[in-house]
């Protein structure tokens, strides 16, 4: 029979790598509470329409990467390729704009994209992200970038670059897009077939193309920042000024448009010098019209999503925090029930306890005690049962003492 293995682009997590995940997740919760973010968890699958409308039908994600299938009732379902549209849907559906203040959420969880797997790129990958709703000011965009930068510093990731841009708004973009289209049309034959198609469908997406020939050509295209309306221009100026006040180093990159359609005004990306081709650690921006696109009111919003696998690649080994384990050994099978009772007593007290239910002799049990790294082995023999005591062996010093059952709690308080 052929062996069943995990699907391509997925991976199992266990010790020691899982220690990094646990560390990172704890830090995310801790760090982002400083900015009053609260956790939100949405389903990992949604109606496909949410992502088609929310992300944009011309994006790579929607065109090529979604895990979409029909459920048993013939509904089109998609495993979430990212979390922002789901968060917006959840906020509208649960009226969170009126229930919670400030409306600032963070999430941590798996996302799914049918991408070509390679280092730092998976088909099931994990993101943490934050979203801020109802706050339109440019300072908030800067605060968000400051929080992303601060977080990476907090987990000792320092070899990074922050790129920012403004992609304008529905007012100024119509002035820019015909210019962009005209420039692209002039060099149509040199662009890849995908980009040729995008000229008429969604020219901004040409900037997302990763093919070198398209990058070289689009580098010569007009810059969106030269076409911003006064409000967008002013907004972008304040973002940059406030970043300087926050002492966040940044590079303005007019090519940065981000791969999703919903962005307005500020967009940003943080890359790492150590990641090679998949160098983006996180990205985000303002998306003031997504609520409306999804049938809600016009609510300003801004956020970012970070790739956990990519951040993990930068983390140093996390030392395991050792808890003192108690191993319970029993001299013969007749004493197993007493041993089980003792294990239940200790576990109810919150202590980590291990025992071997198939133990044939005490020597083998001591070996197991060593293997689990127990600090103490509690030994129950005929003598101990007869005089209501427990023999306790300190596994490090090999010293062995006998304690009375009535003194057990006192002993635990002192040693555990």
Nearest alpha-carbon partner for 395 in 325, 335, 341: 325
Nearer to ligand AMP, 239 or 282 (CB): 282
Three-state secondary-structure class, residue 286? strand
Does 133 participate in binding ligand AMP (rule CB under 6 A)? Answer: no
CB of 244 to ligand AMP, least distance (A): 24
Residue 29, Cβ density class (10 Å: 0-12 exposed, 13-18 middle, ≥19 buried): middle
Residue 121 interacts with ligand AMP (CB under 6 A)? yes
Q: Which of 288, 309, 356, 384 binds ligand AMP (CB under 6 A)?
A: 309
Q: Which residue is nearest to ligand AMP (CB)?
A: 307
Taking alpha carbons only, the member of 118, 169, 125 closest to residue 289 is 169
Which of 122, 250 has the CB closer to ligand AMP?
122
Instruction: Output the smallest distance, CB 305 to ligand AMP, in A.
Output: 4
> Which is nearer to ligand AMP, 162 or 280 (by Cβ)?
280
Pair 324, 376: CB distance under 8 Å = yes
Phi, psi of 151 (to 5 degrees): -65, -45
Among residues 214 and 281, whose Cβ is nearest to ligand AMP? 281
Instruction: Output the smallest distance, CB 93 to ligand AMP, in A.
Output: 22
**Binding mask 100-119 vs ligand AMP (x if CB under 6 A, - otherwise)?**
-------------x-x----
Which of 36, 38, 21, 22 shows the shortest CA–CA distance to 106?
A: 38
Contact by Cβ (8 Å): 42, 90:
yes
What is the C-alpha to C-alpha distance for residues 179 and 308, in angstroms, rounded to an integer?
Answer: 38
Q: Closer to ligand AMP by CB, 184 or 305: give it.
A: 305
With CB under 6 A as the contact rule, the residue among 110, 134, 150, 259 that binds ligand AMP is 259
Which residues lie below 8 Å from residue 157, measured CB to CB, with a gap of 6+? 272, 281, 311, 314, 315
Residues 282-301 that bind ligand AMP (CB under 6 A): 282-283
CA distance 287 to 84: 10
**Residue 311 and residue 330: Cα distance in Å, rounded?**
46
Among 155, 195, 305, 408, binds ligand AMP (CB under 6 A): 305
Q: Which is nearer to ligand AMP, 81 or 327 (CB)?
A: 81
Among 106, 107, 125, 287, binds ligand AMP (CB under 6 A): 125
Q: Which residues contribute to the site for ligand AMP (CB under 6 A)?
A: 82, 113, 115, 120-122, 125, 127, 259, 280-283, 305-307, 309-310
């Amino acid at each position: 029979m052929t062996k069943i293995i995990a699907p391509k682009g997925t991976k199992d997590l266990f010790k020691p790598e899982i220690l990094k995940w646990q560390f990172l997740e704890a830090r995310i919760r801790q760090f982002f509470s400083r900015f009053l973010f609260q956790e939100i968890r949405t389903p990992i699958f949604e109606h496909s329409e949410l992502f088609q409308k929310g992300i944009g039908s011309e994006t790579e994600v929607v065109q090529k990467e979604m895990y979409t299938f029909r459920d048993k009732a013939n509904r089109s379902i998609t495993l979430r390729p990212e979390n922002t549209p789901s968060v917006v849907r959840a906020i509208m559906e649960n009226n969170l704009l009126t229930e919670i203040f400030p409306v600032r959420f963070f999430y941590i969880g798996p996302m799914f994209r049918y991408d070509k797997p390679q280092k730092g790129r998976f088909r099931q990958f994990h993101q943490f992200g934050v979203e801020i709703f109802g706050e339109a000011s440019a300072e908030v965009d800067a605060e968000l970038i400051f929080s992303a930068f601060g977080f990476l510093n907090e987990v000792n990731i320092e070899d990074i670059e922050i790129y920012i841009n403004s992609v304008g708004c529905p007012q100024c973009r119509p002035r820019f897009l015909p210019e962009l289209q005209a420039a692209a049309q002039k060099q149509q034959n040199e662009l890849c077939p995908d980009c040729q198609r995008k000229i008429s469908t969604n020219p901004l997406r040409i900037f997302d193309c990763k093919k070198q020939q398209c990058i070289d050509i689009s580098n010569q295209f007009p810059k969106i920042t030269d076409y911003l309306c006064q409000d967008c221009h002013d907004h972008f100026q304040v973002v940059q000024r406030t970043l300087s006040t926050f002492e966040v180093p940044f590079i303005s990159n007019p090519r940065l448009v981000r791969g999703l359609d919903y962005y307005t005004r500020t967009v940003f990306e943080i890359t790492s010098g150590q990641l090679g081709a998949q160098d983006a650690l996180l990205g985000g921006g303002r998306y003031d019209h997504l609520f409306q696109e999804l049938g809600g009111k016009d609510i300003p919003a801004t956020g970012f999503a970070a790739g956990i696998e990519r951040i993990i690649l930068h983390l140093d080994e996390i030392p395991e925090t050792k808890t003192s384990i108690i191993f319970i050994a029993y001299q013969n099978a007749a004493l197993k029930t007493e041993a089980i009772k003792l294990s239940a007593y200790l576990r109810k007290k919150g202590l980590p306890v291990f025992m071997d239910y198939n133990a044939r002799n005490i020597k083998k049990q001591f070996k197991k005690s060593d293997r689990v790294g127990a600090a103490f082995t509690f030994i129950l023999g005929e003598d101990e049962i007869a005089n209501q005591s427990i023999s306790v062996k300190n596994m490090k010093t090999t010293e062995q003492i006998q304690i009375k059952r009535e003194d057990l709690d006192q002993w635990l308080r002192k040693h555990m």
